[in-house]
Structure 1
Amino acid sequence: MERVGTVAALRRLVPYLKPVRAGLIGSGAAVTAGMLSGLAIPLVLQWILDGPVAARDTGALPWPIVVVAALSALEALMFYLRRKLVAGPSTLVEARMRADLYAHLQRLPISFHDRWQSGQLLSRAISDLATLRRFIAFAGVFLVVNTITLVLGMVVLFSLSPALGLITLVCSLPLLLISTQFESKYAVLARRAQDQVGDLATVVEESVLGIRVLKAFGRGPQLAAKFLGQARRLRRTELGKFRVLSLLWGAIILLPELGIAAQLLIGSLGVADGTMTVGTLVAGITVAGFLRWPTDSIGWLLAEANQAATASTRYWEVRDAEVTITDPDRSRPLPADGVGAVRFEGVRFAHAGADHEVLSGVDLALRPGETVALVGPTGSGKSTLTMLVPRLADVTGGRVTVDGVDVRDLRLDDLRAVVAVAFEEPVLFSASVRENVALGSPGATDEEVREALRVAQAEDFVDRLPWGLDTRIGEEGLSLSGGQRQRLALARAVVGKPKVLVLDDPLSALDVHTEAEVERALRQVLSGVTALVVAHRPSTVRLADRVALLDGGRIVALGTHAELLATSAAYRAQLSTVEDERAEAAS
């Protein structure tokens, strides 16, 4: 990342800094006052040495010494005040950026999340924002203040002695070239390290979530080896950063030391021949020493600026991702007497950048209160079709309507208030049973939650849990059985009493006993709602009023289960394939 890129990346933080600029300015003013206090001390020393000390007037010493002590105390106080003033604004900026990122992630389409590793998103939301907070609280302030201090320090040195000032300037100029070279190399390594942190976070997350699979197949050592390999690559990158830093620090420490040695030589000769006073020499060397921190910090501050710029770039890579599924500019309301009729009219769908369509002209009408089972071979587009109803994805051709209104003309909140979804994999959260079920209808009362559990045939097992509705279930609900998770997902889908229910293979991966339990729950759930159900099992198909066979991106057969068995060879072949797969899995 070039210098211009670094500045451009950091400039994007300005909107977040504006609301807290008073605190940041106050922090900068405090540290500037502290630096100026420290810079004034050498001038007082010059006054002491060339005045009372040179005149051997000890009676005049107390007040100058009191001034030095006061300036030292003021310097310490200002640095304390800086930290106090900057803590609130910097953490507020971090919190706001994290909240904005989280909200944006919720708005982004499913296709975005399919492309991005969760570890990369986690690293941006946590470690990258922590890097930006540190930059705002410390490095950013000192980049400005130390630059001002260096300029003022050089002015003081030249006013004391042009020779001393020139020596310091000559020794400082090479640092500009060295720092420029350092910045370009360090930027590449900083970005690589932050990306590798994201990859490492992904491996950790996947290994924790998949711990049962790893243990069952004895694959823990293999994943550990993968983790170790990535950790080693990250270590090599970090060592590369340290090597670049070490070269810079070596130059930063060496050049000022050479400058002070030269000042001592020139100054001593000046004192000896009477062209310079002792006070001037001591003051000049003290100022040069005071400028060591602003000078020495250049490398570290540039490193922090590069890391912050990289963090900012990574943050905006996600924040700039386009939200493609949004509320329409002019929304239409659903009919007040809507009954949940759903129609697919010439529906086409292709993934972004793909050269073929998943759906290529689907026409299907679901009558109010009717359950339609969607069957078809793997990859035929069944799950994609179900995603179009609640607008988890948008059609690329044709339209989907609910009660005669194109779903793209509805506000998302209005659409998803009447359309509920239960996915093939029942996703539960680390929260109570009540919170997991009420996710389908925020603000649902305990009675409404219990009614949903009764409909989903889940109330009995919930009451047997240690704390009933208040029982916290483990991450992803893995402390529950597959059937229990599936029934809680069904309860969540029906708690808001939707008119349209979309179920993606709700009986997947269940044993015979559990399948029977969930099937009973499904019969109750499907009563009185319009439902589109992806079915892979004959038991699910038999719950439906009609069955639609999807193949090649089109509906190739439509009718009751009995009608299709009698008239569609493709349907019979599909059911036969499913039964063969189940028998093979059972054996």
Structure 2
Amino acid sequence: MHIHDLPYRDPGVPDTRSGGRLLLWLGRCQLGGQLKSLAWGTAHMSALAAVPLVVGIAVQAVVDGSGERLALAGGMVAALAAVVATADTMLHRAAVTNWITAAARVQQLLARKTAEMGAGLTRRVAAGEITAVSTGDVEKIGWFVEALSRFTAAVVTTVAVCAVLVIHQPALGAVVAVGVPLLVLAVLPLLPPATRRADEQREKAGRATELASDTVAGLRVLRGIGGEELFLRRYRRASQEVRRAAVRSARMWALISAVQVLLPGLLLVGVVWYGVSLARAGRISLGELVAVYGAVTFLLFPLRHFEEIAMAYSFSKPSAKRAARVLALRRTGPVTARGHAGNGSPPGGDLYDPVSGLLAPAGQLTVAVCGDPDVAGRLADRLGGHTPAEEPTARVLRPRPGTDGNAPDAREPLDAAGGPDGPAAETAPPPEGPSVLLGGVPLDTLPLAEARTAVLVQDKDPVLLSGTLRELLDVPSSGRVAAADALTAARCDDVLSALSRSTAGGPPDPLDSRITERGRSLSGGQRQRLALARSLVTDPEVLVLDEPTSAVDAHTEARVADGLRALRQGRTTVVFSSSPLLLDRADRVVFLPGGRVSAAGTHRELLRADAGYRAVVTRGATDDTPRPEAALARGSRPERGPRSGRAEMEEPA
């Protein structure tokens, strides 16, 4: 595998049983690259090891006055220099290739897992840990893969040099052959504490990264409540903890490096002292003493590779463990049916969730009202097949004595023993539920590509990537919905005007207008409508929208609802919202307090028949409060029910 061949067509199926097994699997996948690096590394170090022997021959030739042997030694040195230069260049090339290709393989595996898990990934693994795995951990894993072949070459060369010394100079060779393993073993007791300190540093760095990510994501809210200074102090404390942990880790590795310098130096002094005594006794020649001295000096070079592989392994094993933990995640839990064979075309029909009881008939606009934005978000993810096997907890309520159970304060939480306000008031539905069914086919039996094509979920905080508007709308789609029609349905006229004004030169085609990073130059409502247009262009069999109009004004929301209904005519659409403007335009409204269906019908039917639904939609309006029907007739917008937690409204264009 060469760098220009990346990315891999198929990165393979990793062994995620442990971090060590993942590293072993990576090594097997790159066996060819490892052997190439090993061959060049062995050639490089063997040529370096041969230089002291040739120098010894040259010194002895000078002592003996042999010009012929001196010339021969000079030619051998020149040849070895050429071999060293060539082999070192190719070794570096092969080792870096191993590093990059290994890191690329892990990154592709992580990207594939992210696409498979979807929004459920961050509910299983902290965002800071995902960031650490996909950046720093990937680099450390690649480092170990790159260092492994050079370490193996160092071992082979060291064993060969010691064997040659023992054969030709048994006395000095025995000292070297015994001393080198002792040098390696002397460092081993220092590795466990060094590894623990390195793990502590990475753990603190991960927490600091997660805190920084959360702070940046909520910076607008923090500024609104004056809390940015509080979070800044928290990050400073976390940063200082990372600094102190890094200093403690660096001290231990500095000690290991010092030991790796001190002990070989002592070995070299001992070999020279013993060799001089042998030379004075006439047991070895001066040239042989120089050759042995040069060989021992050379052995300091592969010993540095021993230190490097120890450091690389201590850093990469926890990184591989974290990567294996992420890669071991699975999309869904057990299902009720198996055996569907994907044929490349997504299934159609009604969308049904057996856990919540939510049914979205094919070809209709269904609006689901949960009363809790977190429950709505989890249900939206579940409908798209994103939810992992471990379902999040949901609040279980029971009617209070003496009430009909529909008033906003007429229910109370149950604990594990059945009493109110107990320590286990937050209880969970069955942790492993059956899969969502689309036309009777379980979503988790479909190939991932077919499942994503069949059901598209747009969450309440969609991300806009920088680039032109044309690039934003250039997404995999059915081809039945044009970009202009999607923009019209999402009522993006003012967005196009704003983008044209903000783009230098004012492009003649609004689709060539540029969007800044994450659409920061646009208001919250404008970003929502652009994201909605992108989803409409995709034209999936089932479109699931979570609060798609939470940041727009009432007039724009009514127009968006009309455009959405018209463009998605004959296609299945599920919207999670408590806005009467959307509810009044739905073919079917489903009320899911606590995440379970309790009523279904039209918006006006539920307003008349279900007090709980009426309380959620009108936020507890009393008889003296104008009814939503009257408010809709006047063209005004009733107060919303529970939303996504954002207070941002549409800014005037």
Q: TM-score, normalised by structure 2?
A: 0.76
2:578 alignment partner in structure 1: 536
Alignment partner of 1:251 out of 259, 264, 277? 259
Quick check: 1:334–1:405 contact (8 Å CA) kept in 2? no
Q: Render the CA deviation track for 1:490-545: whole Å, top value 9, x for unaligned.
A: 22333244454433233324344543453444454454444433232222222224
Quick check: 1:37–1:71 contact (8 Å CA) kept in 2? yes
Aligned pairs for 1:80-119 within 5 A: 80-108=89-117, 110-119=119-128
1:471/1:244 Cα in 2 relative to 1: closer, same or farther (>3 Å)?
Answer: same
2:477 alignment partner in structure 1: 442
Tell me the percent identity: 28
Whole-Å Cα distance in 2 between the matches of residues 397 and 22 of structure 1?
44
Q: Does residue 231 of structure 2 align to residue 196 of structure 1?
A: no
1:192/1:557 Cα in 2 relative to 1: closer, same or farther (>3 Å)?
Answer: same
1:373 alignment partner in structure 2: 367
1:558 alignment partner in structure 2: 600
Aligned pairs for 1:314-393 within 5 A: 314-324=322-332, 329-331=339-341, 340-343=349-352, 347-348=354-355, 359=356, 362=357, 365-378=359-372, 381-393=375-387
Quick check: 1:486–1:518 contact (8 Å CA) kept in 2? no
1:425/1:135 Cα in 2 relative to 1: closer, same or farther (>3 Å)?
Answer: closer
1:312/1:530 Cα in 2 relative to 1: closer, same or farther (>3 Å)?
Answer: closer
Alignment partner of 1:125 out of 122, 130, 134? 134
Q: Does residue 144 of structure 2 align to residue 135 of structure 1?
A: yes
Q: Does residue 461 of structure 2 align to residue 453 of structure 1?
A: no
Whole-Å Cα distance in 2 between the matches of residues 399 and 126 of structure 1?
33
3-state SS in 1 of match to 2:600: strand
Alignment partner of 1:26 out of 15, 33, 36? 36
Whole-Å Cα distance in 2 between the matches of residues 88 and 65 of structure 1?
35
3-state SS in 1 of match to 2:477: coil
- Tell me by how many angstroms 1:568 deviates: 2.7
Write the letter of the residue equivalent to 2:86.
Answer: L
Whole-Å Cα distance in 2 between the matches of residues 25 and 48 of structure 1?
34
Which consecutive residues of structure 1, in runs of 5 or more, have no partner in the other structure?
A: 1-7, 349-358
3-state SS in 2 of match to 1:12: helix
Whole-Å Cα distance in 2 between the matches of residues 578 and 67 of structure 1?
94
Q: Which deviates more, 407-416 or 501-510?
A: 407-416
Whole-Å Cα distance in 1 between the matches of residues 551 and 243 of structure 2?
41
Quick check: 2:549–2:557 contact (8 Å CA) kept in 1? yes
Write the letter of the residue equivalent to 1:449.
Answer: A
3-state SS in 2 of match to 1:427: coil
Q: Does residue 464 of structure 2 align to residue 470 of structure 1?
A: no
Q: Which deviates more, 497-506 or 267-276?
A: 497-506
1:5 alignment partner in structure 2: none
Quick check: 1:483–1:514 contact (8 Å CA) kept in 2? no
- Tell me by how many angstroms 1:303 deviates: 0.8
2:192 alignment partner in structure 1: 184
Q: CA RMSD in A?
A: 3.6
Aligned pairs for 1:511-522 within 5 A: 511-522=553-564
Whole-Å Cα distance in 2 between the matches of residues 398 and 254 of structure 1?
64
Quick check: 2:478–2:540 contact (8 Å CA) kept in 1? no
Q: Render the CA deviation track for 1:286-337: whole Å, top value 9, x for unaligned.
A: 1111111122442233112222223222221211222337995423789999
- Tell me by how many angstroms 1:78 deviates: 1.5
- Tell me by how many angstroms 1:562 deviates: 3.0
2:395 alignment partner in structure 1: none
- Tell me by how many angstroms 1:154 deviates: 1.6
Q: Does residue 421 of structure 2 align to residue 427 of structure 1?
A: no
Quick check: 1:380–1:552 contact (8 Å CA) kept in 2? no
1:263/1:212 Cα in 2 relative to 1: closer, same or farther (>3 Å)?
Answer: same
3-state SS in 2 of match to 1:377: coil
Q: Render the CA deviation track for 1:326-364: whole Å, top value 9, x for unaligned.
A: 9954237899996x54445xx32xxxxxxxxxx4xx3x5
Q: TM-score, normalised by structure 1?
A: 0.83
Quick check: 2:492–2:530 contact (8 Å CA) kept in 1? yes
Alignment partner of 2:614 out of 554, 572, 587? 572
Which consecutive residues of structure 2, in runs of 5 or more, have no partner in the other structure?
A: 1-17, 390-429, 501-506, 623-638, 649-653
3-state SS in 2 of match to 1:374: strand
Q: Which deviates more, 325-334 or 186-195?
A: 325-334
Which one has the bigger helix percentage?
Answer: 1
3-state SS in 2 of match to 1:429: coil
Whole-Å Cα distance in 2 between the matches of residues 425 and 510 of structure 1?
14
Q: Which deviates more, 300-309 or 53-62?
A: 53-62
Whole-Å Cα distance in 2 between the matches of residues 337 and 283 of structure 1?
76
1:351 alignment partner in structure 2: none
Alignment partner of 2:590 out of 538, 548, 554? 548
Write the letter of the residue equivalent to 1:442.
Answer: S
Q: Render the CA deviation track for 1:125-180: whole Å, top value 9, x for unaligned.
A: 2222222323333x212211111222122223323433323333454344343322
Q: Render the CA deviation track for 1:534-586: whole Å, top value 9, x for unaligned.
A: 23222222222443332244433333333333333323333342669759989
Quick check: 1:374–1:534 contact (8 Å CA) kept in 2? yes
Whole-Å Cα distance in 2 between the matches of residues 305 and 124 of structure 1?
16
Q: Render the CA deviation track for 1:445-472: whole Å, top value 9, x for unaligned.
A: 8x71112112222255325522522334
- Tell me by how many angstroms 1:102 deviates: 0.7
1:56 alignment partner in structure 2: 65
Write the letter of the residue equivalent to 1:434.
Answer: R
Q: Does residue 544 of structure 2 align to residue 502 of structure 1?
A: yes
Whole-Å Cα distance in 1 between the matches of residues 170 and 537 of structure 2?
81
Whole-Å Cα distance in 2 between the matches of residues 335 and 96 of structure 1?
29
- Tell me by how many angstroms 1:484 deviates: 1.8
1:479 alignment partner in structure 2: 521
Quick check: 1:197–1:234 contact (8 Å CA) kept in 2? yes
Whole-Å Cα distance in 1 between the matches of residues 382 and 89 of structure 2?
57
Aligned pairs for 1:267-286 within 5 A: 267-286=275-294
1:70 alignment partner in structure 2: 79
- Tell me by how many angstroms 1:83 deviates: 1.4
Whole-Å Cα distance in 2 between the matches of residues 68 and 122 of structure 1?
50
Whole-Å Cα distance in 2 between the matches of residues 332 and 54 of structure 1?
82
Write the letter of the residue equivalent to 2:466.
Answer: S
Whole-Å Cα distance in 1 between the matches of residues 570 and 201 of structure 2?
55
Whole-Å Cα distance in 2 between the matches of residues 427 and 550 of structure 1?
27
3-state SS in 2 of match to 1:271: helix
Whole-Å Cα distance in 2 between the matches of residues 148 and 271 of structure 1?
29
Quick check: 2:102–2:142 contact (8 Å CA) kept in 1? yes
- Tell me by how many angstroms 1:216 deviates: 4.2
3-state SS in 2 of match to 1:532: strand
Quick check: 1:135–1:304 contact (8 Å CA) kept in 2? yes
Write the letter of the residue equivalent to 1:42.
Answer: P
Write the letter of the residue equivalent to 2:499.
Answer: L
